[in-house]
Amino acid sequence: MIPPHRRMVEDLAERGVLPSDWHAAFAAVPRHLFLPDVIIDAGTGGHVDREVDERGWLEAAYADAPVLTQVDGGDRRGPGEPTSSAPAPSALAGVMRHLRAVPGMRVLEVGTGSGYGAALLSHLLGDDAVVSVEIDFELAERARISLMGAGFTPLVVGGDGMQGWAGRAPYDRVVSGVAVRRVPYAWVAQSRPGGRILTPWGDAFHHGVLADLVVGARGTARGRFVGHTDCVWARADRAPGRLWEARPRPEPDHAATRTRLRPEDLVGDRDAAFAVGLQMPGVYRRVRRARERGDPRLTVQLVDPVTWSRASWHVDPGHGESGHEVRQHGPRRLFTELEAAHLRWVEAGRPAPTRFGLTVSAERQLVWLDDEDSVLASSG
């Protein structure tokens, strides 16, 4: 029987997702050394306990699936929101391919998490070439222990990775394991001209789009989105605390309408969700599914915390012909905005994220379609 670690590496190579220059690192660094004793599949929620089923645990450790490594920042009383995860091996291999790191470069990793990514980087580049910053001090310490157990000693810093780490700047590469709504300018300022910044980026509707930016000579960074990846939000960019628990006052003038938009038009379409979210800055979205397994009904909630405008889209497949109920409260008619944004995306030819680009300077950030003459979103 082929050991799970070897099988994972061979599978990634056969599928063509593991770059040849990273093959040795993935083969040398055991993923299971960086995972918790209870593995929770970030996609399905299923779990396996090492003490109960060690063989099953080891198989899960080398499955091509993301693994939750922390929820609610370690607070057991929280609602169960993922705050740290280990990406699926194929997703991590894709990030490393886009990173284009070679020996002799210095890399800043933001979001140490389990430490597995830092171990791979250290194997390729050497311990002294890798700095990894983790905002959660407990996670940082656990990662240090796991890294030392695997034979690696990169610099793991407990701190806010949004500020980078100036102590060893400039960097040839900056790679983030968490999604941001704005690329921190510190990453640009601490990079060499010609360096690359690779980070998940997102809006309120979708946060798994990977931005691949090249740093210019004049203190700017520019590039395109290169696909989707699995990750959690940077802590500063999560939805504001208690956003969904707050209850608006009853409004007799709320608008009740129906829509023919289907779940797959937005909730199930990551390209559409990304493009719609770009056009609705400051709005947050949550999807609530029926509690009973197999029940297809769901509710999509939208909220603008500035005006406390809200919208609820109640999706019942049994009412597909007559449309689905929508209720809107507050000065902004959020679902009306959503429908208009979705229509603009459709009329533009349903562009995938790879047609969008991002420009970052000290003063502002621009998101554009195809070229910088077609700016879709700007923030100062």
Domain map of the chain by residue range?
Answer: 4-228, 241-348
- Residue 74: phi and psi, rounded to 5, are 90, 0
329: part of which helix (H) or strand (E)?
strand 324-329
Banded model confidence at residue 202, pLDDT cuts 50, 70, 90? confident
Q: Is 223 or 261 the better-scoring residue by pLDDT? A: 223
CATH number of 4-228: 3.40.50.150
What pTM was computed for the model? Answer: 0.89
As a whole number of angstroms, the distance between CA 122 and CA 103 comes to: 10
Place of tokens 């909220």: 303
Report whether 48 contacts 61 (CB < 8 A): no
Query: Three-state DSSP class for 33?
Result: helix
As a whole number of angstroms, the distance between CA 351 and CA 356 comes to: 8
pLDDT tens digits, residue range 10-37? 999 999 999 999 999 999 999 999 999 9
What does the block give as tokens for 273? 């969700």
pLDDT at 292 over 60: yes
As a whole number of angstroms, the distance between CA 26 and CA 379 comes to: 39
Give which of 119, 135, 129, 148 is closest to 178, Cα–Cα.
Answer: 135
The reported pLDDT for the residue numbered 78 is: 46
Indicate which residues carry an active-site annotation.
84
pLDDT tens digits, residue range 301-340? 899 988 888 888 887 766 556 678 888 988 899 999 999 9
The reported pLDDT for the residue numbered 73 is: 55
